[in-house]
Amino acid sequence: MPRKSKNISSPNLTNSDEEREQFEIYLSNKGLRLTRPRKLIFDEVFNVHGHVDAEELAAHLREPGKRVSRASVYRTLDLLAEANLVKPIRLLSGKQRIYEHIHSGEHHDHLVCIECGRIQEFFSEDLENLQTKLCSKHEFKPARHTMIVYGLCGQCSKKKK
Amino acid sequence: MPRKSKNISSPNLTNSDEEREQFEIYLSNKGLRLTRPRKLIFDEVFNVHGHVDAEELAAHLREPGKRVSRASVYRTLDLLAEANLVKPIRLLSGKQRIYEHIHSGEHHDHLVCIECGRIQEFFSEDLENLQTKLCSKHEFKPARHTMIVYGLCGQCSKKKK
DNA sequence: TTATATGCAAAGGCTTTGCAAATGT
DNA sequence: ACATTTGCAAAGCCTTTGCATATAA
């Protein structure tokens, strides 16, 4: 049984090229413009591994060379989501603007450690299939989903003993 | 996004009695008091069928006979969560204080319609089992989880055609 | 050129908090 | 009696928006 498991810090620096193209296509299809702020935001988003949070992003982009406004960050995150490059996730954290990358349609779910906060991603074919089955049972046409399991990661659960 | 409508139906004697006891036990164990506002909030929470949202709750409880402050609503929701009577859920809605009842360990997941906002609950034994299996594969000790599928409900998906 | 995008600052939700007054045990 | 709770109003955070200005195509 195939097992695709990933850590937050998988080093894939330069391969945002594909995403970048997808972004440009999306923009031009909609008659939107590839501006300096949008480029900067795009880069920041796709150079970060793991999850992207609007406020953090805005903070980074306030630095000397960049100076992108908070408003543009929020607006551009919307675009990236519409372009299907980024997907909103909801953690127990009070923030509503947290996203994760969507790498070429690959989907995954989350194990969140309630002790150390580590987020581990996983993917399960079985889970996807089951979901499809469950949705059709309820006459529901799924667009996307989030599954988050909260609990103790291996390390923390050992420490607890 | 449209909001789910809630009907506060007339107060038959409910089976929230068990929960009420659990609440009282929790309070007294902690040396906390069963006050008038807490009673009112408890009632409101457990007379609602479906999901509970802090602001809505506060709005209801501002009515003539009740007059409970927003602050107390928020504070009491924390208590109910700590007492394991209510569980926070995260929807794509900008609100962080949405809860659902926990009925004696019974768990369910959600289908959220992105068109009309309707929230349908479902439970699947298979899903639970699969989850357990997946967690152990990742050496993860699950405490609770949320699965939310966003998509089109039967009605809306028909309308779209 | 000219519609689109930006930055700013103000407004908006929702939530949290400090504090004096009220209340349960 | 006295620690706990309350309500209020203010503050806080994150997000959204209106508008004049700047900019990509």
Question: How long is the CA A119 to C1' D1 vector, in angstroms?
Answer: 50
Chain B residue nearest residue A138, CA to CA? B154
Between these two residues, A96 and B36, which has the higher pLDDT value? B36
Give the model confidence (pLDDT) of B96-135 as tens digits: 899 999 875 567 888 888 777 677 888 999 999 999 999 9
Q: Which nucleotide is nearest to B75 (CA to C1')?
A: C16
Q: With H, G, I as helix, E, B as strand and everything else as coil, classify residue A52.
A: strand
Using CA atoms, how far apart are residues B68 and B58, in angstroms rounded to an integer? 7
Chain B residue nearest residue A147, CA to CA? B147
* pLDDT surpassing 60 at residue B6: no
* Mean per-residue pLDDT, B148-158: 85
A149·B150 Cβ contact <8 A: no
Using pLDDT thresholds of 50, 70 and 90, give the confidence band for residue A160: low
Give the model confidence (pLDDT) of A57-101 as tens digits: 999 999 888 999 999 999 999 999 999 999 898 887 778 899 999
A145·B140 Cβ contact <8 A: no
Sheet with A98-101: list strands edge to edge: A51-53, A98-101, A86-89
Question: How long is the CA B74 to C1' D3 vector, in angstroms?
Answer: 21
Between these two residues, B9 and B50, which has the higher pLDDT value? B50
Token readout for A118 is: 């580590």
Q: How many CB atoms lie within 10 A of CB A30?
A: 11
Decide: A146 and A107 in contact? Cβ < 8 Å: no
With residue A150 as reference, give the H or E element that holds it: strand A141-152
Using CA atoms, how far apart are residues A90 and B148, in angstroms rounded to an integer? 10
- Best residue in A6, A109, A138 for a mutation probing chain B (most B CBs within 10 Å): A138
pLDDT value of residue A144: 80
Chain A environment of B116 (Cβ under 8 Å):
none
Q: Which nucleotide is nearest to A62 (CA to C1')?
A: C7
pLDDT value of residue A35: 97
Decide: A72 and A41 in contact? Cβ < 8 Å: yes
pLDDT value of residue A108: 82
Q: What is the 3-state secondary structure (H, E, C) of chain B?
A: CCCCCCCCCCCCCCCCHHHHHHHHHHHHHCCCCCCHHHHHHHHHHHHCCCEEEHHHHHHHCCCCCCCCCHHHHHHHHHHHHHCCCEEEECCCCCCCCEEEECECCECCEEEEECCCCCEEEECCHHHHHHHHHHHHHCCCEEEEEEEEEEEECHHHHHHCC
pLDDT value of residue A71: 97
pLDDT value of residue B156: 82
Nearest residue, CB atoms, A141 vs list B138, B148, B152 = B152
Using pLDDT thresholds of 50, 70 and 90, give the confidence band for residue A48: confident
DSSP assignment letter at A157: H
* pLDDT surpassing 50 at residue A8: no
pLDDT value of residue B160: 67
Between these two residues, B157 and A135, which has the higher pLDDT value? A135
* Mean per-residue pLDDT, B2-17: 43
B153·A140 Cβ contact <8 A: yes
Give the model confidence (pLDDT) of A120-149 as tens digits: 888 999 999 999 999 999 999 998 888 888
Using pLDDT thresholds of 50, 70 and 90, give the confidence band for residue B154: confident
pLDDT value of residue A1: 34
pLDDT value of residue B120: 84
Residues of A with CB under 8 A from a CB of B: 3, 5, 88, 90-92, 94, 96, 111, 113-114, 120, 122, 124, 126-127, 130-131, 134-135, 138-154, 157
Nearest residue, CB atoms, B141 vs list A5, A124, A152 = A152
* Predicted structure pTM score: 0.71
Cα of A94 to nearest chain B Cα, Å: 6
